[in-house]
């Protein structure tokens, strides 16, 4: 295993093993999640729903592209008209997307991999533009915003086929078990390693979901094709999760913000019961 440096705020982490009983995952998938930090739910979302997601996200992606076109060089943070467009918190603006995020499949995944009480923590559509000019660098999701508990759940829903040619997810197995590692802040995003040995490309068909931990280092390469590669990314955290504020290079966190914004961080599982009705708009 690559000896990546620990994040300064990561002291005393123990990976929570998943022992069941399970509702959505097989024992083999739970084992893969525990040992490798990821697995794939093949063809989990039907083509009609994928088309509906694509249609629901389209105006938000258009809005992001219009905004990026007003920015110097068409760029804002890691996004750019010639690289990747990222539409965040779209479930707060679409009943269809909110319902999708609260669907029984995700409530059951939360039950299996998060615990009895879970909320949507974050959702975003990430569209890698045709012939994109940059990769998404190797990072853990918890390397961007440091959340506690550190281990939350990312579901990368492929809206188009994702291949090595158009920038599918690549993961680095095993690292997740040590918790959050140190990241450097580069002009094109946070980075925890470069060209790591043992990286695994995860090509998937549209409708499949790459399920991985917030602690699983991952990256996506260039899109070398003529078509946009589309993904809708849903993240779930235990109820009561907090985001730590501050600069890890400058010492201890300066604040803790509970992740329970009712507009976009609604409960999906309450006391092990799916809770789509508890969304607020």
Ligand X SMILES: O=C(O)CCC(=O)C(=O)O
CB of 234: closest distance to ligand X in angstroms? 11
Q: How many CB atoms lie within 10 A of CB 46?
A: 10
Q: Does 136 help bind ligand X (rule: CB under 6 A)?
A: yes
Site membership for ligand X, residue 30 (CB under 6 A): no
CB of 90 or CB of 231, closer to ligand X: 231
Which lies closer to ligand X via its Cβ, residue 91 or residue 220? 220
Assess 68 for contact with ligand X (CB under 6 A).
Answer: no
Residue nearest to ligand X (CB): 220
Residue 90 engages ligand X in binding (rule: CB under 6 A) = no
Taking the least distance from each CB to ligand X, the nearer of 167 and 274 is 167
Q: Is 268 in the site for ligand X (CB under 6 A)?
A: no
Q: How far is the CB of 126 from ligand X (least distance, A)?
A: 4
Nearest distance, CB of residue 152 and ligand X, angstroms:
12
Q: 3-class secondary structure for the chain?
A: CCCCCECCCCCCCCCCCCCCCCCCCCHHHHHHHHHCCEEEECCCCCHHHHHHHHHHHHHHHHHHHHHHHCCHHHEECCEECCCEEEEECHHHHCHHHHHHHCCHHHHHHHHHHCCCCEEEEEEEEEEECCCCCCCEEEECHHHHCCEECCCCEEEEEECCCECCCCCCEEECCCHHHHCCECCEEECCEEECECCCCCCEEECECCCCEEEEECCCCEEECCCCCCCCEEEEEEEEEECCCEEEECCHHHCCCCEEEECCCCCCCCEEEECCEECHHHCCC
Q: How far is the CB of 134 from ligand X (least distance, A)?
A: 10
CA distance 27 to 67: 45
Does the footprint of ligand X cover residue 167 (CB under 6 A)? yes
User: Closest approach of Cβ 123 to ligand X, in Å?
Assistant: 10
d(CA 75, CA 78): 7
Residue 253 CB, nearest distance to ligand X (Å)?
Answer: 21
Residue from the set 87, 231, 237, 268 that interacts with ligand X by CB under 6 A: 231
In the complex, least distance from residue 178 CB atom to ligand X, rounded to whole angstroms? 19
C-beta closer to ligand X: residue 191 or 220: 220
Interaction between residue 220 and ligand X (CB under 6 A):
yes
For ligand X, the closer CB: 118 or 157 = 157
Is residue 211 involved in binding ligand X (CB under 6 A)?
Answer: no
The residues that touch ligand X, with contacts defined as CB under 6 A, are: 126, 128, 136, 141, 167, 218, 220, 231, 233
């Amino acid at each position: 295993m690559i000896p990546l440096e620990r994040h300064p705020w990561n002291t005393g982490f123990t990976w929570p093993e998943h022992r069941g009983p399970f509702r959505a995952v097989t024992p083999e998938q739970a084992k893969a999640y525990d040992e490798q930090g990821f697995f794939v739910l093949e063809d989990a979302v039907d083509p009609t729903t994928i088309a509906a997601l694509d249609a629901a996200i389209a105006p938000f992606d258009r809005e992001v592209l219009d905004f990026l076109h007003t920015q110097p060089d068409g760029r804002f943070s890691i996004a750019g008209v010639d690289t990747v467009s990222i539409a965040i918190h779209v479930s707060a603006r679409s009943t269809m997307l909110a319902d999708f995020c609260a669907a029984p499949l995700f409530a059951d995944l939360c039950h299996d991999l998060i615990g009895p009480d879970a909320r949507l923590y974050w959702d975003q559509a990430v569209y890698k533009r045709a012939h994109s000019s940059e990769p998404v660098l190797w990072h853990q999701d918890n390397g961007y915003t440091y959340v506690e508990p550190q281990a939350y759940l990312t579901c990368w829903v492929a809206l188009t086929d994702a291949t090595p040619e158009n920038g599918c997810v690549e993961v680095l197995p095993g690292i997740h078990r040590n918790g959050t590692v140190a990241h450097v802040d580069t002009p094109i995003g946070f980075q925890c390693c470069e060209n790591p040995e043992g990286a695994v490309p995860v090509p998937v068909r549209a409708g499949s979901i790459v399920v991985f931990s917030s602690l699983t280092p991952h990256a996506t390469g260039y899109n070398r094709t003529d078509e946009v590669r589309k993904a809708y990314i849903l993240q779930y955290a235990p109820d009561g999760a907090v985001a730590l504020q501050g600069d890890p290079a400058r010492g201890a966190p300066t604040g803790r913000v509970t992740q329970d914004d009712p507009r976009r961080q609604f409960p999906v599982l309450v006391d092990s019961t799916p809770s789509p009705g508890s969304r607020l708009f």
